[in-house]
Structure 1
Amino acid sequence: MSDIAGKETAEKKAFGASATRRRTPRRRTGLVAVAGAVVLCALITVSVANGDMPLPPLDAVRGLFGLGDSATVLVVQEFRAPRMVAAIVAGAGLAMGGALLQRLFRNPLASPDVMGVTGGASFGAVAMLAAGASQALIPLAALGGGLLAAVLLGVFAWRAGVSVTRLVLVGLAVQAGLSAAVTFMVVRFPTELAGSALQWTTGSVYGRTWTEVWAAGGALAVALVAAFALHRRLAVLDLGDDSAGALGLNTHAARLQVLVVAIVLASLAAALTGPVAFVALAVPHLVRFLAGPPTAGTLALSGLAGAVLLLASDLAAQYLLPVSGLPVGVVTATLGAPWLLVLMIRQSSSVNRSAR
């Protein structure tokens, strides 16, 4: 009897320890999410309160909800809020797209901006501007451009081989080629259109309108729902193709679905900001460092962290740098270039260690 009781006690302790281990990442994710939400609220307050006409923070927040005098409501809701919301929505879309791609390819270098997706989205958006189409159609054009980049990536990477390193190199080539095409169109534009298209060469949220925000944001919301719906399949893919196939999952179809959702997220985000670098590449690494292994919770946390990073970068471009009028893409690219170099060096070192 004592042996049986001892075994039961040991089993309870083991179960309790396992439950504690399961709760710890969730608790950590929750704490990081709360901290991120607090930071985001603070950044929103700073964003709506500052500008050519500074406002008291409380009045600015009240104006955001349509309260207060008409002048404050007009300034906040029509001029500052669209830019702020565009940064939040685009940052979340880029970060979650990057998280999905890195997990799908199991490579820290996999990112929409590295693999050419954002360059394709920018190409589609600028081509739509060149055609003189409505601003409401730009998200659709950006999505088409992102899909075009994905097709080019698949064709050239398939010819070169399916290794992830080659995939990234081909993606960089696709990104460079599409960026050159965008620059050519901007140069050939009439003067009145060149200014509108220039943001898609550097990345900017300046001059966003509610029409653009609602069009891209609504489509992004649908893509986010699809991303969470696919999370279980992505978790099964983490087990490996053999195990996933044994569990009845069509691995090829599942990978294609996740890839399409990631491309849609990044393309629609690029429709609002242009080719903003660093966010999709770095945020998933930061979230894994703070919150642990990937789960549905960390995927949502990636969106929150991306929103915080892009909004903070936009505020830094507006108020902290000595040169006024810089687009947010300059700030993120300055941070992203050394980060990409470090990641490539680490990736090369890990490959060399594996070869030994």
Structure 2
Amino acid sequence: MPETKLYRSPTFCSAVSTPTSPLSIASAPAGTLWWRWGAVSLLVYRAPLLAACGLLAALLMSSLASLTLGSAGLDLLDALKAIFGIGEFMHVFVVQELRLPRLLAGMGTGAAFALAGCLMQTLAGNRLATPGIIGIDNGATAFAVASVVGLGASIAPPAMALSGAVVAMALAFGLSGGIGTRGYRFLVAGIGVGALFGAGTQLMLARVSIDVANNAYPWTVGSLNARDANSVIWLGIAMLIGLPLALWLGRGLNTLRFTDRVATGLGLPVARMRLMILWLSVVMTAAAVAVAGPVGMVALVGPEIARYLSRHKGVPLLASALAGALVMVLADLAGRTLLSPLEVPVGIVMAVVGSPYLLWILLRSPR
């Protein structure tokens, strides 16, 4: 058997095999990078790292395109200067007041939806178990619409969206049989809960005036146009807390993919881990719905792109967040520019793109 020899560099080390090497130091597995700094070391897999770097580069390019393209076209240099308030008044107004807040909202909501989708899919052990499929999106939307149409609720839409997501999660969780339930039973209960909240949303819109219904319309289809600044700020705070927490839960998520007995035997507190994942998914989904409405297809497409690019058996949390942000920004850019001056809401664009993809997942033969 060939022995493993470690070739060191000042920062990174990788494991390679030589057939004639003497006894050598055991090191990082093949396909990984090992970073050491004194007593601190970090082991990362190459494929997920390269996927995250590629997605980050693509997100940067799509963000620049979102700032420059539109009915008022801008040069790249003018758009970059306008971000810092330098240049002509019209350029600064278009970038700082219209396009940059919309871009930040798209990046934040896409990352939150995709991260929640990856967590929920891992929890249920099913690639279709996204917050939109199991009714969390519809629950948050129904409560947000209730605050807009004024049905005795004066709470702001973000807080109401969080309340609706919690109620929907509790119903799906309770109807599916508790925290240990996995698979299609959880999906079926969530679909029923989502349909119930969806019908309630339509009933509320049917009983108010057309002007009030128009104000609530963005929360029913998904839109990034003229988003509330406070909602975007709360979304940013949720992402700053939620993404590191999800990465911290990464090892437990990998273990949770085994059966409950195996995970318990490996020392994982299964019930507590699932409860934490549920709450984190609910908070991420509610924060995103409060900004953009129910754009649940991002939670399905983003993790799938991350898994394909990572080609790794772990849970691609960071890559999922980056892929969701990229998909959301591109969908919003397409909705703004393809049929200009007519604007297509980002939720409709994602439904057109994501629905065939969902059918492909359902109909293709499993490998």
- For Structure 1 versus Structure 2, the TM-score category normalised by the shorter chain is 0.7 to 0.9
How far apart, CA to CA, are the structure 2 residues paired with 1:272 and 1:68?
Answer: 30
Q: 302, 314, 327: which is aligned to 2:345?
A: 327
Q: 355, 358, 361: which is aligned to 1:337?
A: 355
Alignment of 1:22 onto 2:40: no
How far apart, CA to CA, are the structure 2 residues paired with 1:37 and 1:135?
Answer: 39
Q: Comparing both structures, which one devotes a greater share of its residues to helix?
A: 1
1:111 is matched with: 130
Deviation at 1:91, TM superposition (A): 0.2
Identify the range of structure 1 (323-332 vs 306-315) with the bigger mean alpha-carbon deviation: 323-332
Alignment of 1:260 onto 2:279: yes
Deviation at 1:87, TM superposition (A): 0.6
Q: Deviations over 1:210-241 (max 9, x none)?
A: 22211222233222232223223223323432
Pair 1:225–1:21, CA change in 2 (3 A)? closer
2:107 is matched with: 88
- Contact 1:143–1:264 (8 Å) recurs in 2: yes
Q: Specify the SS of the correspondent of 1:265.
A: helix
Alignment of 1:52 onto 2:102: no
How far apart, CA to CA, are the structure 1 residues paired with 2:67 and 2:182?
Answer: 46
Task: List gaps (5 residues or longer) in structure 1.
Answer: 1-5
Pair 1:267–1:109, CA change in 2 (3 A)? same
Alignment of 1:152 onto 2:171: yes
- Contact 1:95–1:302 (8 Å) recurs in 2: yes
* Over 4 Å off, 4+ runs: 6-13, 132-136
Deviation at 1:10, TM superposition (A): 7.8
1:200 is matched with: 219
Alignment of 1:308 onto 2:308: no
TM-score, normalised with respect to structure 2: 0.83
2:236 is matched with: 217
Deviation at 1:294, TM superposition (A): 5.2
1:3 is matched with: none
Q: Deviations over 1:172-228 (max 9, x none)?
A: 222222122112222323333222210111111111132221122223322223222
How far apart, CA to CA, are the structure 1 residues paired with 2:23 and 2:203?
Answer: 68
Q: 289, 305, 309: which is aligned to 1:286?
A: 305
TM-score, normalised with respect to structure 1: 0.86
Deviation at 1:131, TM superposition (A): 2.7
1:176 is matched with: 195
How far apart, CA to CA, are the structure 2 residues paired with 1:210 and 1:290?
Answer: 33
Alignment of 1:227 onto 2:246: yes
How far apart, CA to CA, are the structure 2 residues paired with 1:72 and 1:132?
Answer: 41
- Contact 2:115–2:321 (8 Å) recurs in 1: yes
Indicate the percent of aligned positions where both proteins have the same amino acid.
33
Identify the range of structure 1 (125-134 vs 165-174) with the bigger mean alpha-carbon deviation: 125-134
1:191 is matched with: 210
Deviation at 1:321, TM superposition (A): 4.0
How far apart, CA to CA, are the structure 1 residues paired with 2:187 and 2:223?
Answer: 25
Q: Specify the SS of the correspondent of 2:87.
A: coil
Q: Specify the SS of the correspondent of 2:217.
A: helix
- Contact 2:119–2:281 (8 Å) recurs in 1: yes
Pair 1:11–1:301, CA change in 2 (3 A)? farther
- Contact 2:110–2:324 (8 Å) recurs in 1: yes
Deviation at 1:317, TM superposition (A): 1.1
Q: Which has the higher contact order (CA 8 A, sep 6+)?
A: 1
Letter of the 2:318 partner, please give it: A
Pair 1:195–1:315, CA change in 2 (3 A)? same
Deviation at 1:339, TM superposition (A): 2.1
Q: RMSD over aligned Cα, in angstroms?
A: 2.9
Deviation at 1:66, TM superposition (A): 2.5
Q: 292, 317, 333: which is aligned to 1:299?
A: 317
Identify the range of structure 1 (327-336 vs 131-140) with the bigger mean alpha-carbon deviation: 131-140
How far apart, CA to CA, are the structure 2 residues paired with 1:338 and 1:11?
Answer: 54
Q: Deviations over 1:53-93 (max 9, x none)?
A: 22222111211122223332222111211111111000000
Deviation at 1:261, TM superposition (A): 0.5
- Contact 1:224–1:265 (8 Å) recurs in 2: no
Pair 1:157–1:244, CA change in 2 (3 A)? closer
How far apart, CA to CA, are the structure 2 residues paired with 1:232 and 1:341?
Answer: 31
How far apart, CA to CA, are the structure 1 residues paired with 2:301 and 2:347?
Answer: 14
